[in-house]
Structure 1
Amino acid sequence: MLRELNDYQIDTLLKDQLVGRIGCHAAGVTYIVPVNYLYDGTDIYCHSAKGMKIEMMRENPLVYFEVDNIKEITNWESVIAWGKFEEITEMEEKQKVLQKLTDRITPYIMDDSITREHGFVDKEGDIGTTVELIIYKIVVSKKTGRFENR
């Protein structure tokens, strides 16, 4: 039987997972793509190189974000959040967000060359000097969650 997650369970799932999916729509095209992210209890923070996702979100900033934890076909949790894409352009904020993303994700990456390939840096000051990244947040306006556990 499907049930609803409460607010605490929704926030816990968003905070615990490392990969979610952003859904965006522009010019008649819908695009869904996995991303590394950080949820601070209010907003979802991500990084990206320039590309289709960023172009679409700049054109239409209304997006959705989905994350799940699937243990088996009848034992899973899923959250969908709706929100607005906001690019972070102030360098100090970009540095702080990227460092938080780096701290969150790198313990799960075994090979240092992969962190650099994905744009993660060693120090906050490296952003904007050695790596060109787009740092952005999704300002969440609505969240819902479901689960099944048989």
Structure 2
Amino acid sequence: MLGKLEQPEIEALLSRQVIGRLGCHAQGTTYIVPVNYVYKNGVIYAHSGPGKKIEMMRKNPKVCFEVDDIKNIFSWKSVIAWGTFEEITDIAEQEQTMQLLIHRVMPLVEHATDHPSHGITANEYDIGDKIDLIVYKIRIDKVTGRFEHH
């Protein structure tokens, strides 16, 4: 059976997942990339180093975001959200966002020191000043969800 997810199921799926696919479009090019994220109160929070997706979102802040939970080809849930990219420049908000990300992602990391390049590590001194982290949020304007199960 195919169907639409109701808002509580959409919220649950967005809250439960930790990796989503971010789609952005600028100057005739579309780019989709997986990102670690945290969802809270209608907002997706994430971070990145400088690169293609940040450049594109700065040019065109309208983005699309997708998450799914696939058990098999006939049992899955998927959410697609459309929203607006906003770079977080306030230091306090950046710190709060990084704390949200660290608390959400760290339990899924095999070794606490494995990912300092992402700014997500058990020891802040592992990060140093090796990377210029860009912290951002996506304010969701519209969201849809679908499912299939037998």
Residue identity (%)? 52
**1:74 corresponding residue in structure 2:** 74
**Structure 1 residue runs of 4 or more that deviate by more than 4 Å after TM superposition:** 121-124, 126-131
Letter in 2 for 1:41: N
State the distance in 2 between where 1:32 and 1:146 align: 20
Superposed CA RMSD:
2.0
Unaligned runs of 5+ in 2: none
The answer to whether structure 1 residue 35 and structure 2 residue 35 are counterparts is: yes
CA contact (8 A) 2:37 2:101 kept: yes
**TM-score, structure 2 length as denominator?**
0.93
Structure 1 segments unaligned to the other structure (5+ residues): none
| C-alpha displacement of 1:20 | 0.2
Distance 2:83 2:127 in 1: 26
Tell whether the 8 Å contact from 2:106 to 2:121 is kept in structure 1 after alignment: no
User: Is the CA contact (8 Å cut-off) linking 1:106 and 1:115 kept in structure 2?
Assistant: no
| Equivalent residue number for residue 96 of structure 1 | 96
Distance 2:42 2:27 in 1: 29
Name the count of aligned residue pairs.
150
Question: In 2, distance between residues paired with 1:53 and 1:82?
Answer: 16
CA contact (8 A) 2:113 2:121 kept: no
Matched residues in 2 for 1:21 and 1:52: separation?
14
Match of 1:4 in 2: 4
Deviation at 1:121? 4.7
Displacement of 1:130 in angstroms is 6.7
Counterpart of 1:139?
A: 139
SS of the equivalent of 2:115 reads helix
CA distance in 1, matches of 2:111, 2:81: 32
